[in-house]
Amino acid sequence: MDSILRQGSKGNAVAELQQLLQSKGFYSGKIDSDFGAGTTNAVLKFQKANGLVPDGIVGSSSWAKLRAGIPTSSQGLQTLLPGSKGAAVSQAQQLLKDKGYYQGRIDGDFGVGTRDAIAAFQRANGLTIDGKVGEQTWKKLQAPAIADVTPPVTVVEIVRPSSPTPTPATPSPIPTPSIFVPSPTTPVTANNPSVNTPSPVPTASPISLVDAANSYSRARLPNQTAAINNLQASVTPEILQQFFQRWQIASGLATTATSLQDAFSGYNNAQMLNQNLALQWLQSQLLSQTIAQFRQDWSNLNTGTGTGTTTPFTPTQPIEPTTNNPQLQLINLTAAVKVYTRSANQLTALENLQTSLPAQTMQQFFQRWSLASEQTAIAISLVDVFQDYDSQKFPSQVTALQWLEKELTTANLEKFSRDWQTI
């Protein structure tokens, strides 16, 4: 039953009233759910134009006139078209948002964004793609997002605790490792000389899938790839298929992704809002032990073998003089950056090296460097890289430089060394 509204009323029913008045050309104010003077004047004008008693009170007769001409489905749901406004549009927008197809405001206004989201939803669900919300589209929108065959899952909240929760004492000498809190170790003491101190257990960072995709799209480190592949192996085919469909729509792709690695690689700023919804949906379907294992795998991302131990870096020494040029000593980037003084010949060497390398190689390196340096902006030149080098503060910078060194040919290295050492 419709509410009886008058000046001073507030709430969703007032918002619907304002939207209906606006759609019929009687109201141009803000949809603020507040029945004020502007809404009262609009109601009076509407009532006069439609042969109703102009009392400014919206009862059953006024509601009927306001909704006249708006088609409904057999279930009593309003058929929505581009340009429709009101609570039914808000309901459709919310359902689309819950299913990962809509990222805009829930404003009850069927505009271009809502139309595109409807079309994408219809395409993914085998419906006629007409951009309208009719009976079949309403049914699909109101259906559960996950098929009944999907087992119930535990939703993991991605929250870093402000402080570790004290653990009650137990008879066990070594507590079970926590995904958030490092495992304490039992020290060797005079009272307990027989207990050896166990190696610290690497603690997984509570990273979300959104954060992981953002990182992987810029770095694509081997252990990130391993973590993503392990995650895919633990997810049911039904969940993966639904995620890939959501990802395809969110990314505006013509074909569906076939692996989480491809999806994470395609994360980008242009579609990140909708992609985030798809990733958040996937994370909500994961078992707690699955996300815990993914975080543990991901926490090994700066290691070479994924064992949780790092190998100290030994600086590359200048190579012996070459046969063709016995006076030239080759110098690698990891050695050059340590003696960089911004001299003219060094600047020339860096600029010439960057020019000689493929743009794709430089782009991948700059992404790795920016990630290693914890920068939000991508670096654009080797000169900037050498200027910002700080291995004490950012030890992973060395790893990025080593990666670029592997991409150099002997000719690249000889030319760089020649330019670097020219006086």
- pLDDT (tens digit, 9 = 90+) per residue, 34-56? 999 999 999 999 999 999 998 99
Tokens 């090994």 sit at which residue? 300
Question: Helix or strand or coil: residue 177?
Answer: coil
Per-residue pLDDT tens over the stretch 206-252: 678 888 887 787 667 777 888 898 899 888 888 888 899 888 888 87
Side chain identity at residue 60, one-letter code: S
The answer as to whether 270 is a domain residue is: yes
β-sheet bridge partners, residue 192 = 189
Q: Stretch 168-196: mean pLDDT, rounded?
A: 40
- CATH number of the domain residue 22 falls in: 1.10.101.10
The answer as to whether 250 is a domain residue is: yes
β-sheet bridge partners, residue 198 = none
The answer as to whether 182 is a domain residue is: no
Instruction: Give the relative orientation of helices 288-298 and 222-234 as an angle to the nearest 10 degrees.
Output: 170
Residues 225 and 292 reside in one and the same domain: yes
Are 331 and 318 in contact by the 8 Å Cβ rule? The answer is yes
Residues 289 and 367 reside in one and the same domain: no
Residues 338 and 379 reside in one and the same domain: yes
pTM: 0.31
Residues 346 and 410 reside in one and the same domain: yes
The answer as to whether 310 is a domain residue is: no
Residues 347 and 384 reside in one and the same domain: yes
Q: Total structural domains in the chain?
A: 4
- CA atoms of 395 and 372, how far apart (whole Å): 8
The answer as to whether 191 is a domain residue is: no
The answer as to whether 181 is a domain residue is: no
- CA atoms of 166 and 220, how far apart (whole Å): 37
Residues 339 and 401 reside in one and the same domain: yes
- Domain extent at residue 378: 333-421
The answer as to whether 198 is a domain residue is: no
Residues 281 and 358 reside in one and the same domain: no
Residues 345 and 415 reside in one and the same domain: yes
Q: Stretch 151-163: mean pLDDT, rounded?
A: 43
Residues 276 and 240 reside in one and the same domain: yes
Residues 56 and 109 reside in one and the same domain: no
